[in-house]
Amino acid sequence: MPRKRRELYNKEICACSIFGAMNKDGERFNAAGVMRAIANMHVRGNGLGGGFAAYGIYPQYRDYYAFHLMFNGKTLQSQISAKAEFEQYLNQRFDVVYDEEIPHRPQTQLRDPPLIWRYFASPRKRGEDSRLSDDEYVVRTVMHTNSRAEDAYIFSSGMNMGCFKGVGYPEEIGEYFMLDQLYSAYAWTAHGRFPTNTQAWWGGAHPFSLLDTSVVHNGEISSYGTNRWYLEMYGYACTLQTDTEVIAYAADLLLRRQRIPMEIVAKILAPPIWNAIDTMNEKEKKLFTTLRMVYGPLLMNGPFAIIIGQTGRLIGLTDRIRLRPITAATKGEMFYLSSEEASIRLISPELDSVWTPSGGEPVICELNSRRV
């Protein structure tokens, strides 16, 4: 076989890899199995982005927001300068109880790792800010930092959870941050990236996170411009150079700020086509017509499969005609979501149940709940 043709068969050029695992009893486990599972989908990536989100990893600081920061200056001195400037801003708005450089392997082949730090802090609100909820206060801090601060980027800001990501294969990112040695979580998500039309940089890797909501995504959001315009009206600053960012912010807007149930959120992001709405009974037709009218700019066009992590639950969702794959499975109290069934069976060979969710229908697993 000619070399160029053989190379085409050696790459999966249409799909990233996503994986999620959750123990419904809340028992924590390290990332070793998740790292093996996402590495099993190695050919879906090309080493330009990988990452993990983990829930329940900071029990000793469970009442504090955990900020994970990247300082992306081209030199160590510029990174240190950006860190000092950010800390001056942070200390004006929060009480920081502990901070440290996020542990990592000192020797690495990863490309241009930035200075990565974490801070555990509680809001210190004054004046008009006193009227804001703590979560909204944190969101505004994140938006201000990511849109205005020089060489500083908040990529994780939830309580008792954290994201770890960078430029590399996901298994390399897991090894770099020693996720299989230093952390135990009741839920993990992971992503291996094959970029389509966005550049490779540490902040552009998945997951994308705001507060305790994290998103890993396979596909491409062709409606990014419209989605971004709508979210910016609500104060979200889309600065991270990728379409996946709008999914995380849309999830925050709908689930946290507007308190819409996930089953309805799914019908906003991946609604039925108009021909299907026309065949519904009058009650359903009214509901879905209203959702399309009110939230039309949040409709996500294009192929996608996503896993949304939040405190206490994992959610899987595909586009309405299922152009990107996702598989769900259970074994005892373990729940899995993956781009490929093989990755689930690699770490859990005997499953109680395994299925392919319908397009546009969310699969929801909740902590301490039998409902999946």
CB-based burial label for 59 (10 Å; 0-12, 13-18, 19+): exposed
* Alpha helices, DSSP H, located in 71-215: 76-93, 134-148, 170-176, 179-182
Q: In the annotation, is 16 catalytic?
A: yes
Phi then psi for 309, rounded to 5 degrees?
A: -105, 140
Q: Can you give the pLDDT at residue 8?
A: 42
Bridge partners, 331 (sequence order): 334
Q: Can you give the pLDDT at residue 351?
A: 96
- Rounded Cα–Cα distance for residues 269 and 346 (Å): 32
Residue 37 structure tokens: 């599972």
Largest CA distance in the chain: 70
User: What are the distances in angstroms from CA 225 to CA 94, 120, 208, 230?
Assistant: 34, 34, 18, 9
Q: Can you give the pLDDT at residue 12?
A: 53
What residues contact 208, with CB distance under 8 A and at least 6 apart?
A: 155, 214, 215, 217, 240, 242, 244, 245, 247, 248
Considering the candidates 16, 163, 238, 365, report the single residue annotated as catalytic: 16
Residue 241 structure tokens: 């150079």
Residue count (the chain): 372
Yes or no: say if 114 and 71 are a contact pair by the CB < 8 Å rule: yes
Yes or no: say if 360 and 271 are a contact pair by the CB < 8 Å rule: yes
Q: What is the DSSP string of 205-271?
A: SSPEEETTEEEEEEE--TTHHHHHHHHHTTT----SSSTHHHHHHHHIIIIIIS---HHHHHHHHSP
Q: Can you give the pLDDT at residue 251?
A: 95
- Rounded Cα–Cα distance for residues 240 and 146 (Å): 8
- Rounded Cα–Cα distance for residues 181 and 183 (Å): 6
- What does each of the 372 residues of the chain score in pLDDT, given as a tens digit? 344 443 444 545 457 899 999 999 999 999 999 999 999 998 888 888 899 999 999 999 999 999 999 998 888 899 999 999 999 999 999 999 999 999 999 877 888 899 999 999 999 999 888 999 999 999 999 999 999 988 999 999 999 999 999 998 999 999 999 999 999 999 999 999 865 556 677 777 889 999 999 999 988 888 988 999 999 999 999 887 678 889 999 999 999 999 999 999 999 999 988 998 999 999 999 999 999 999 999 999 888 999 999 999 999 999 988 889 899 999 999 999 999 999 999 999 999 999 999 988 999 999 986 444
CB-based burial label for 263 (10 Å; 0-12, 13-18, 19+): exposed
Q: Which of 193, 163, 165 is nearest to 47 (CA)?
A: 193
Q: Can you give the pLDDT at residue 18?
A: 94
